[in-house]
Amino acid sequence: MESIKKILSSIFARIEVKHKWQQDFLIEIFELVFSIQGRVNYTNLARYSKYNEVTFRRNFKKFFDWLNFNSQIMSLAGVDFDTVIGVIDCSFINKAGKKTYGLDRFYSGVAGRAKRGLEISTLALIDLATHKAWTLDVVQTPAKLAKKEGKQDEYTRIDFYLEQLQNNLSALQSVLYFVADGFYAKTKVFNALCSWNKYLITKLRPDANLRYFFKGKHPEGKQGRKSTYGGKVFWKQLDLRRWQSVGYDYKYNHIKIYTQILNSPYYKRDFKVVLLINTRTNKYILLASTDTNLCARLIVHYYQLRFKIEFLFRDAKQFTGLMHSQARDEKSLHFHFNMSLAAVNLAQLQLANADSDSTIHLMNSLVRRAYNTRLVNWLFLQLPQLRKKAKLNVFNPLHPDSDDKLESVLNFGCLGRA
């Protein structure tokens, strides 16, 4: 398995990192994230590192181009930016205290309600070939922003999320479709993406105000223009004869798919609407795409892939310390959140490059092996006689002199192939 240091050296050769000390610091911190026990915070990082706690606190305040860094990771992973879709979503971060930047009440999906803490807005790309999500950019939502769409001149959370998208448009030129959950079904979002020549796929309310287009003939003898609309959609008394049946979902064979192009008086635009009916419960959900020519099955497929971003949040919270920051200022928090999710990208790159006969195919096993490697490396440095016996001046599990017994030590506690 390719080492973190080797991967980072390849990335630093592609991006502009002027100072050697910053390269060394980033190599150290990404090696530590996977190889230490406990929380990924200043105090615990210093326990296992050659740097002290003050060094970590000072360097977390410094700027780093995370957007370019994450883009290079995806390039090394072989991601084709012409075959990706964009996903934007938020995640709640627990945080105690009163002086931390961005403290406010944000919605927590786990709790099912708004809680006091922090929120990060994450822009990710999903590779349509591998169905893997990759973090591109992470920003922290400021406090005291209006939660609803608000008036035309009022700056809200939606405006902040759109600003994140706009700031990253240079890296999203080849991305045509964006997927987001029902919270982003807002007039501002539709208008902004339309102005950027992008399309949004999202979820609508089950009682969405939509109307059919009139497809009949103009009555003979009737003066005036032909009718544009053919009546409101009544969801409680839905006439499926006016919908095109697509068939059953390939992934869930109890979900029946219908589609129709409808107009929304509220959003003042047309949508390609996909109706998904659960034949077991008779419940339904509505998906909508601003691209009225997009295939209904692709709309369903892209929206199903949206959930892949949740795996990034899961792995960052479980393995790379997304919830562990001791920082309170904006710059340090920004560095910590981006570092945590960039570490997940690095882990995915390592797993993707792992040999087919390797036992490391899970995030849990990768972290376990990284800890074992660091511990054994430390033991070799502390016990010169053992190091001589192994004939390794610097421990490297890929060294040709490394034997099977040493490999078994490194893989101790690792799970096999899933």
Question: What one-letter code names the amino acid at 174?
Answer: S
The residue written with tokens 């893989």 in the block is 411
Q: Quick check: 36 and 371 in contact, CB under 8 A?
A: yes
Average pLDDT of adjacent 10-residue blocks, the chain of 418 residues? 84 84 93 92 92 95 94 94 96 91 93 94 97 97 86 86 96 96 95 97 96 79 73 93 95 95 96 97 96 97 96 95 94 97 95 69 84 80 59 48 58 54
Question: What one-letter code names the amino acid at 273?
Answer: V
Of 124, 108, 126, the C-alpha closest to 116 is 108
SS3 state of residue 259: strand
pLDDT at position 154: 82
The pair of three-digit structure tokens given for residue 170, joined into one six-digit string: 């240079």
Pairing type for strands 199-204 and 113-127 reads unpaired
Of 140, 101, 85, the C-alpha closest to 294 is 85
* Cβ atoms < 10 Å from Cβ of 114: 13
pLDDT at position 284: 96
Strand partners, 201: 179, 289
DSSP per residue over 354-409, as a string?
S-TT-S--SHHHHHHHHHHHHHHHHHHHH-HHHHHHHT-SS--TTSTT--HHHHHH
SS3 state of residue 274: strand
Q: How many secondary structure helices (H) and strands (E) does the chain include? A: 13, 12
* Cβ atoms < 10 Å from Cβ of 183: 16
What lies within 8 Å, CB to CB, of 8 at 6+ separation is 23, 26, 27, 30, 346
The pair of three-digit structure tokens given for residue 77, joined into one six-digit string: 């992973």
Cα separations (Å) of 212 from 65, 201, 216? 48, 20, 12
pLDDT at position 233: 95
The pair of three-digit structure tokens given for residue 272, joined into one six-digit string: 């390609």
Give the orientation angle of helix 4-12 with respect to helix 66-76, to 10 degrees. Answer: 110
pLDDT at position 385: 56
Strand partners, 93: 118
pLDDT at position 15: 87
Burial of 173 (0-12, 13-18, 19+ CB in 10 A): exposed
- Domain boundaries of the chain, sorted by first residue: 4-180+308-353, 211-292, 367-410
What lies within 8 Å, CB to CB, of 65 at 6+ separation is 15, 16
DSSP element (H, E) containing 245: strand 244-248
pLDDT at position 253: 92
Q: Is the pTM here over 0.85, yes or no?
A: yes
